[in-house]
Structure 1
Amino acid sequence: MTEQNTPFPGWDWDDPDGLAERLDAFSANVATCTKLEAAPAGPPRDHAGFRELGLTGIEFAAFRTAHPEGLGTDLATLRSADTTSEPGTLYRVDGDRWFTQLDIARPLPFADASVDWVYAEHLIEHVTLPVAVRWLREARRVLRPGGVLRLTTPDLARYLTGYATGDGFLAKHRRRLTTLGFGPPMPARPAFLVNQIFRHYGHQWIYDLDELRHVLGLAGFEPGQVRHCAYRQGARPDVADLDTAFRTDETIYVEADR
Structure 2
Amino acid sequence: MSKAQPSFPGWDWDDPDGLSVHLDDFSADVATCDKLEPVGALPANRREFLELGLTGLEFAAFKTAHSQGLGTDLAPLRSPELTSEPGRLYRVDGERSFTQLDISEPLPFADASVDWVYAEHLIEHVTMPVAVGWLREVRRVLRPGGVLRLTTPDLARYLNGYASDDGFLARHRRRLGMLGFGPPMPQRKAFLVNQIFRYYGHQWIYDLDELRHVLVRAGFAAEDVRHCGYRTGLRADVADLDTPFRTDETVYVEADR
Q: TM-score range by the shorter chain?
A: over 0.9
Query: 1:77 is matched with which residue?
Result: 76
Q: Distance in 1 between matches of 2:215 and 2:70?
A: 22
Q: Distance in 2 between matches of 1:98 and 1:226?
A: 29
Q: Distance in 2 between matches of 1:236 and 1:197?
A: 29
Deviation at 1:105, TM superposition (A): 0.4
1:41-82, Cα deviation, whole Å (9 max, x unpaired): 311110001000000000000000000000000000101111
Residue 213 (structure 1) aligned with residue 212 (structure 2): yes
**Kindly tell me: are residues 139 and 5 of structure 1, through their superposed partners in 2, closer, same or farther at Cα, counting changes over 3 Å?**
closer
Aligned residues: 257
Q: Distance in 1 between matches of 2:158 and 2:250?
A: 10
* Amino acid in structure 1 at the alignment position of 2:74: L
TM superposition score normalised by structure 1 = 0.98
TM superposition score normalised by structure 2 = 0.98
Query: 1:173 is matched with which residue?
Result: 172
1:178-214, Cα deviation, whole Å (9 max, x unpaired): 1111211101110110000000000000000000000
**Kindly tell me: are residues 5 and 164 of structure 1, through their superposed partners in 2, closer, same or farther at Cα, counting changes over 3 Å?**
closer
CA contact (8 A) 1:3 1:9 kept: no
Query: 1:235 is matched with which residue?
Result: 234
CA contact (8 A) 1:77 1:85 kept: yes
Q: Distance in 1 between matches of 2:29 and 2:127?
A: 25
Q: Distance in 1 between matches of 2:15 and 2:71?
A: 33
**Kindly tell me: are residues 194 and 109 of structure 1, through their superposed partners in 2, closer, same or farther at Cα, counting changes over 3 Å?**
same
Deviation at 1:5, TM superposition (A): 8.0
Deviation at 1:3, TM superposition (A): 10
Q: Distance in 1 between matches of 2:122 and 2:189?
A: 24
- Note the residue ranges of structure 2 that are not aligned, 5 or more in a row: none
| Identical aligned residues as a percent | 77
Secondary structure of the 1:25 match is helix
Deviation at 1:20, TM superposition (A): 0.6
Q: Distance in 2 between matches of 1:4 and 1:245?
A: 26
Q: Distance in 2 between matches of 1:4 and 1:137?
A: 44
* Amino acid in structure 1 at the alignment position of 2:30: V
Query: 2:37 is matched with which residue?
Result: 37
Secondary structure of the 2:7 match is coil
* Amino acid in structure 1 at the alignment position of 2:24: D
Once the two structures are superposed, the pairs formed by residues 1-258 of structure 1 within 5 Å of their partners are: 6-39=6-39, 41-258=40-257
CA contact (8 A) 1:108 1:138 kept: yes
Q: Distance in 1 between matches of 2:63 and 2:185?
A: 29
CA contact (8 A) 1:3 1:10 kept: no
1:104-154, Cα deviation, whole Å (9 max, x unpaired): 000000000000000000000000000000000000000000000000000
